Amino acid sequence: MKVKQFLIFLFCALLSTSVFAWDLWDEFKAVNVTEEGRVVDYSDTKLITTSEGQSYGMFFALVANDRQSFDKILQWSEKNLGEDQPAWLWGIPDGKKDGQGKILDTNNATDADMWIAYSLLEAARIWHEPKYMSLANKYLAKLKEMVRDIPTIGKVILPGRVGFEDKGIITLNPSYYPPHILRRFAEHDSYWLPVLEGSINAMIRSAPTGVAPDWSKFNAEGVLIDENKMIGSYNAIRTYLWASILSPKDQNYQVLAKLYAPMIGIVRQTNIPPEEVNISDMTVSTRDVNAFGACFLPYLSNEKSGGIIRTVLTASKMKGDNYYRNVLTLFGLGFDYKHYAFNEKGELFFPKVDLMVQGDTPKANE
């Protein structure tokens, strides 16, 4: 057998073994994912499901090589939220588990659409399944309709179809621009390269003090406005996560690490990130959110603060009413334990699998 054929055979064999086992994913499925493929946030009385949750679920299933769950989550989403540009919010108004659910808000959430398109692109590549590629292209076509050109910044994607353009003012959400996703889109279709560049510019311009905001507003001349009202909290926290899991070979890795150095420095001192940071004067809230630490673990993994964050995240079991904590933990510890990573093209790969093939032991084991 030729070497290339043997490697393909070996990889296919690995796909069918427990080498992809991921206990945290199994735990998340048990508390937040129904048998039908609905990712549920039980903290809300309406037992809500968001397109974000569905998109993250698809990505985690891909990382775990759990194709059955991947397909179930995708199928539930397309059936109940819509295809290509799903509604962002679904729930059960009476709050009963056996109650009738429906779409509660027809607007879309662009970040979820991007994560779904990305997961489909990578599923097509990794699982050699053309139908996923076809679906990914449909999502990408809809996303192109959301692209706007801001003077002095460049091309960016609106956070949703409605509500983010008003009298020349455009509202953006920096956490909606995972650089590895836009890099992968650009590798697939050159249309997205200027969008990647514009998005990085928007992230930089939105964080003049080195702290990412939940929302930022730009006027018709591309000038950041209402800076003194900007807060970084539950939305913004993911911005650091996306920057930190970017491939170090990507030219934007160092750019963003330098940009967010002030916020990384705060976490290095406090260990657990604050719930809110005021962008203009860098004042922080007195309440800490331990789940936020997952977003800085890739930056601080080998430091004392990283060890504390890791201990805190692994200290408690997942609960269904802690949806957001659970997904941040999956992202942070999943990367830390080498279940997934991205190359300079934005492609997903599996360091833990590579280590096992080489006969090495991963840094941590769930």
Domain edges within the chain: 18-145
Q: How high is the pLDDT of residue 128? A: 97
Mean pLDDT of the chain: 93
Q: Which CATH architecture has domain 18-145?
A: Alpha/alpha barrel (1.50)
Percent of the chain having pLDDT more than 70?
Answer: 92
84 is catalytic: no
- Amino acid at site 77: S
C-beta separation of 303 from 271 below 8 A? no
Please determine, for residue 360, whether its predicted confidence score (pLDDT) is greater than 80: no
Rounded CA separation 186/195 (Å): 8
102: left (phi over 0), alpha (psi -120 to 50) or beta: beta
Which element (helix H / strand E) includes 328? helix 323-336
Q: What is the pLDDT of residues 196-205, one digit of tens each?
A: 999 999 999 9
Q: How high is the pLDDT of residue 11? A: 53
Please determine, for residue 362, whether its predicted confidence score (pLDDT) is greater than 60: no
Only one residue has tokens 């840094």, namely 363
Q: What are φ and ψ of residue 35, in 5° steps?
A: -60, -30
Percent of the chain having pLDDT more than 90?
Answer: 88
311: which 2 tokens? 């201990």
Q: What is the mean pLDDT of residues 251-276?
A: 97
Instruction: Given the residues 41, 52, 113, 336, select the one marked as catalytic.
Output: 52
Residue 289 Cα to chain centre, angstroms: 18
In the chain the first and final C-alpha atoms are separated, in Å, by 35
Q: What is the mean pLDDT of residues 154-171?
A: 97
C-beta separation of 263 from 240 below 8 A? yes
Rounded CA separation 140/181 (Å): 12
Which element (helix H / strand E) includes 171? strand 169-172
Q: How high is the pLDDT of residue 9? A: 47
pLDDT tier, 357 (very low <50, low <70, confident <90, very high otherwise): low
- Amino acid at site 188: H
Please determine, for residue 8, whether its predicted confidence score (pLDDT) is greater than 70: no
Alpha-carbon dihedral sign for residues 10, 15, 18, 23: positive
189: which 2 tokens? 């279709």
Rounded CA separation 247/127 (Å): 22
Angle between helices 261-270 and 304-314 (to 10 degrees): 70
**pTM score:** 0.93
Q: Residue 87, SS3? A: coil
Q: What is the pLDDT of residues 315-331, one digit of tens each?
A: 989 999 999 999 999 99
pLDDT tier, 358 (very low <50, low <70, confident <90, very high otherwise): low
Half-sphere exposure (Cβ direction) of 344: Cα atoms closer than 13 Å: 6
Instruction: Given the residues 66, 111, 214, 250, select the one marked as catalytic.
Output: 111
52 is catalytic: yes
Least confident segment among 12-21, 300-309, 324-333: 12-21
Q: How high is the pLDDT of residue 353? A: 83
Q: What is the mean pLDDT of residues 138-142?
A: 98
Q: How high is the pLDDT of residue 205? A: 97
Residue, of 96 and 33, whose pLDDT is higher: 33
Which element (helix H / strand E) includes 172? strand 169-172
Q: How high is the pLDDT of residue 359? A: 57
Q: How high is the pLDDT of residue 354? A: 76
HEC per residue, 53-85 = HHHHHHHHHHHCCCHHHHHHHHHHHHHHCCCCC
Q: What is the pLDDT of residues 44-98, one digit of tens each?
A: 999 999 999 999 999 999 999 999 999 999 999 999 999 999 999 999 999 888 8
Q: What is the pLDDT of residues 16-30, one digit of tens each?
A: 446 778 999 999 999
